Chain A
Amino acid sequence: MYKVLKREQIVPNIHLLAIESSSVHQNARAGEFVVVRADERGERIPLNLVDWNKDSVSMVFMEVGTSTSKLASLKPGDEIATLAGPLGKPTEEVQGKKIACIGGCYGIGALLPVIRMFKEKGNHVTTIIEARSEFLLYWQDKLREYSDEFQEITRDGTKGHKGHINDVLVDYIKKNNVDMVYVQGCTYLTYLCSEITRPSGIKTIVGLNPIMVDATGMCGVCRVIVAGETKFGCVDGPEFDGHQVDWDNLIARRKIYINEEISSLSFYECERYG
């Protein structure tokens, strides 16, 4: 069992979770993830690592189904059943590049270790975060610390640019000589950004979130088709070249258990709230 040190809702439905761990940090690198299981009956789910030290690791997640609802109800001092990691391949370290980093939803948090690494390697980092409204944006100060430029987008215009990532990213890559785009967030955002940069051919690395079970390469549920080849998200990824990903397949595979996820959540809510 692993002790919860902190669990707080950063903005509605987005939570920070810090778990006691003395082993995960020693090999942890930006872009990697951990697997957690809330309790003995829980599912194993992958969460991006956002921070780590010799005593703990932190993750940011969005509350959406049973597993994340269980995690969202944790209090300091509670315990979770599983914490394993770091897992996956770390973000490729590049130097001296101009990189646009885009984050949405839980991906805003997941950007943090990656832009910190990019900055430390001497890259020029432009961070762009997006949400529906200002109250859903977070961690601007933390992200600014490692960003040369910083932009916010809200759909309702309550903060920064009003509109979608489309307008901002298209404009930005037109005006700037961008070497690389890096995206963390939901499948739709990663897909969208890959399509935006496809005509220009700017290398676009996306952090994907296929369904996983063991997350060590054993089960193969996280299969992603990349450049026509089947890859395992957990050990070959979770980051891939967005221009090579078979998005239709990924989006369909994300929905394999959608009916079960809905019934599981109602079952859990019934058990919990009666």
Chain B
Amino acid sequence: MAKIVPKKTAMREQPAMERTKNFNEVPYGYSEQEAIQEAKRCLQCKRPTCMQGCPVEIDIPGFIDLIAQRDFRGAIKRLKDKNVLPAVCGRVCPQEDQCEKLCVLAKKYEPVGIGRLERFAADWEATQGEAPVPKKPKPTGKKVAIIGAGPGGLTVAGDLIKLGHAVTIFEALHAPGGVLVYGIPEFRLPKVIVYREVDYLRRCGVNVVFDFVVGKTATIDQILHEYDAVYIGTGAGLPWFMNIPGENLNGVYSANEYLTRSNLMKAYLFPEYDTPIVRGKRVAVIGGGNVAMDCARTALRLGADAVHNVYRRSRKEMPAREEEIHHAEEEGVIFDILTLPVRYMGDEHNWVKEMECIKMQLGEPDASGRRRPVPIEDSNFITPIDTVVCAIGQSPNPLIPQTTPDLKTGKWGNIEINPETGKTSKKGCWAGGDVVRGGATVILAMGDGRVAARSMDDYLKTGVW
């Protein structure tokens, strides 16, 4: 047996000083040599624990072994058996909380770089010309509608088209990908990757209809007249604000707006593209999640002199991935932890010019298990700013629940499902991802899609709800 190599093969990336001046991807990805070297670190466990950590059940040791043997074609094929978006997941999955966390090596050393290897295999395939499309299965004659072309919807589409069902995706925006395209910035996930994966699904026979706002253009009931089953994967599109004074001043953005302008509408290329964005010089990004890191790093790339990340707990409680916080720190984002904005002040033209914050300290653990932040009396202070991005979370978009009375929803407007099957309270309707979970992750949405697709296939074959 080969000797254990304690550390992951390093991945080269754009230096921090350089990359804050462009929107190009930060890590370069492995070369073939680096990938093989990393793949050989895998112990090929007889009972691999890593797989238990994968919401879409990828054969992890299997694809890694193929890379180690230089069979890259075989490796990507093995990945695609379970994952329609390997190039995406290799980049944005929180592997440190999933597969890599459970890697046997992780007990004493660094885990195998499973995400990096997944990314390598998918990127290698992209250099080999158009990915071959599997042979078309015998049509079942059943029609499926998927609402939302995000990661969950694309997973359902990929699974059901392979089984011979006719699949149509209805997307509200003018581009596919959902949060992968409007939310995650180019420097973390180049859009061409998403479009390539969607193009593959289209070549497999998936029909994608754009500019179709389900709940308005047609209701779920109208769609059910024409389709045998519906999957709702519309995400968490309703931005939250803190409801503090001054949030409607000019220059105060929701994270959704800030990122949608920059990513989907390409406002970072204004005026070549028509959609503008405020290029603030002193930017405050509120919140400690991945979305907040994306906003802060976008603000730097848009030319800010100082970007403050304002978070009410301590760095340890930040929900963002360590890698994202690290990248943001390297790039010069200033972290104002244990700090809570209490109001924004504007100038005579209604533009935000100052932010008043209060310092916090950590008290007893709250319901989430994290220590509750408590304001420190008389610790208020004022900072001059010209742009605020509020990245404190979002809840599901209400357009579908509002127009589908028999669809049961919970307290936050989230659609309620049976987690074993993805079935909603409405016959013929499944749901998953953020519209069920609130703000979660790409891979959990894909896992939900996998579960629902299995249940949908059963229903389409048997007619039993």
Interface residues in chain A, defined as those with a beta carbon under 8 Å from any beta carbon in chain B: 23-24, 26-27, 35, 37, 41-44, 66-67, 81-87, 213-214, 216-221, 223, 225, 230, 235, 248-249, 252-253, 255-257, 260-261, 263-264, 267-268
Can you list 21 contacts pairing A with B, beta carbon distance less than 8 Å? A23-B212, A23-B217, A26-B222, A27-B216, A41-B273, A43-B265, A44-B174, A84-B172, A85-B217, A86-B216, A213-B265, A216-B399, A217-B399, A219-B239, A220-B241, A220-B256, A230-B247, A230-B248, A248-B350, A253-B250, A260-B270
Determine if B317 is an interface residue (Cβ-Cβ < 8 Å).
no
Most buried by A among B213, B253, B265, B399: B213
A257 to B257, CA, bound (A): 14
A249-B250 Cα distance, complex, nearest whole Å: 9
With A220-B257, A235-B399 already in contact, the answer to whether A253 and B216 are too (CB < 8 A) is: no
Known contacts A230-B241, A253-B248, A263-B271; is-contact A219 B254 (Cβ 8 Å): yes
Instruction: For the complex, count residues of B whose C-beta is within 8 A of A.
Output: 43
Known interface pairs A27-B218, A213-B260, A213-B265; A249-B211 also in contact (CB < 8 Å): no
Q: Of the candidates B182, B250, B270, which one forms a contact with A256 in the assembled complex, judged by CB atoms under 8 Å apart?
A: B250
Which residues of the partner chain A approach B217 to less than 8 Å between Cβ atoms? 23-24, 26-27, 84-86
Does B69 sit at the interface, judged by CB under 8 A? no
Q: In whole angstroms, how far apart are the Cα atoms of A248 and B278 in the complex?
A: 21
Contact with A along B270-285 (1 / 0, CB 8 A): 1111111010000000
Give B250's nearest chain A residue, CB to CB.
A256
Residues of A within 8 A of B239 (CB): 218-220
The answer on a CB contact under 8 Å between A264 and B270 is yes
Smallest beta-carbon distance A199→chain B, Å: 27
> Would you call B216 and A257 a contact (CB within 8 A)?
no
Give the residues in chain B near A23, CB-CB below 8 Å. Answer: 212, 217-218
Q: Using a CB-CB cutoff of 8 Å, which residues 446-462 of chain B contact chain A?
A: none
A residues less than 8 Å from B272 (CB atoms): 41
| Alpha-carbon distance between A223 and B172 when the two chains are bound, in angstroms | 20
A19 to B274 CA separation, bound complex (whole angstroms):
21
Please judge, given known A-B contacts A218-B239, A220-B257, whether A264 and B276 are in contact too, CB under 8 Å: yes
Which 5 pairs show the lowest CB-CB distances between chains A and B?
A: A252-B350, A260-B276, A219-B257, A84-B211, A218-B237
Q: How far is the CA of A43 from the CA of B272 in the complex (A)?
A: 11
CB distance from B266 to the nearest CB of A (A): 8
Q: Which A residues lie within 8 Å of B266 (CB)?
A: 41
Q: In this complex, what residue of A is CB-closest to B209?
A: A23
Interface hits, B211-231 → A, CB 8 Å? 211-213, 216-219, 222
Alpha-carbon distance A271/B211, docked complex (angstroms): 28
Report yes or no: B237 in contact with A253, Cβ–Cβ below 8 A. no
Q: Which of B217, B219, B238, B251 has the largest number of chain A CB atoms within 10 A?
A: B217
Do A223 and B276 form a contact, CB below 8 Å, given A43-B265, A218-B397, A253-B350? no
Contact of A216 among B222, B247, B261, B397 (CB under 8 A): B397
Pairwise interchain contact B237-A217, C-beta atoms closer than 8 A: yes
Interfacial chain A residues near B46, Cβ < 8 Å: none
Q: Given the complex, which residues of B lie within 8 Å of A249, measured CB to CB?
A: 248, 350
Is the CB–CB distance between A221 and B276 below 8 Å?
A: no
What CA separation (Å) do A199 and B335 show in the bound complex?
51
| Neighbour of A85 across the interface among B213, B241, B254, B350, CB < 8 A | B213
A43–B174 contact, CB under 8 A? Answer: no
Q: Indicate whether B318 reaches chain A with its CB closer than 8 angstroms.
A: no
- Find out whether the CB atom of B172 lies under 8 angstroms from the CB atom of A216: yes
Given contacts A23-B217, A27-B217, A84-B217, 11 further A-B contacts (CB under 8 A): A26-B217, A44-B174, A44-B265, A84-B172, A84-B212, A213-B260, A219-B257, A221-B257, A223-B248, A235-B398, A252-B349
- Give bound CA distance, A221 to B251, whole Å: 10
Q: Do B271 and A264 touch across chains, with their CB atoms under 8 A apart?
A: yes
Chain B residues whose C-beta falls within 8 Å of the C-beta of A82 in the assembled complex? 174, 210-211
Contact partners of B43 in chain A: CB under 8 A: none
Q: In chain A, what residue has the closest Cβ to B252?
A: A223
CB <8 Å contact, A261 and B276: yes
- Cβ of B173 within 8 Å of any chain A Cβ, yes or no, is yes
Contact A81 B260 (CB under 8 A): no
- Contact residues in B for A44 (Cβ distance below 8 Å): 174, 265, 275
The A-contacting residues of B in range 79-98, CB under 8 angstroms, are: none
In whole angstroms, what is the CA distance A252 to B174 when docked?
29
Specify which chain A residues have a CB less than 8 angstroms from the CB of B265 in the assembled complex.
43-44, 213
With contacts A249-B350, A253-B350 taken as known, whether A84 is within 8 angstroms of B213 at the C-beta atoms is yes
What chain B residues lie within 8 Å of A35 (beta carbons)?
211
A252 touches B274 (CB 8 A): no
Answer whether A37 and B174 are a contact pair too, CB < 8 Å, given A220-B239, A253-B350, A261-B276. Answer: yes
Question: Nearest A residue to B398 by beta-carbon distance?
Answer: A217
A49-B253 Cα distance, complex, nearest whole Å: 28
B211 touches A213 (CB 8 A): no
B346 CB to nearest chain A CB (Å): 9
Chain B residues within 8 Å of A261, by CB:
276
Residues of A within 8 A of B278 (CB): 256-257
Question: Measured between alpha carbons, how far is A249 from B344 in the docked complex, in Å?
Answer: 14
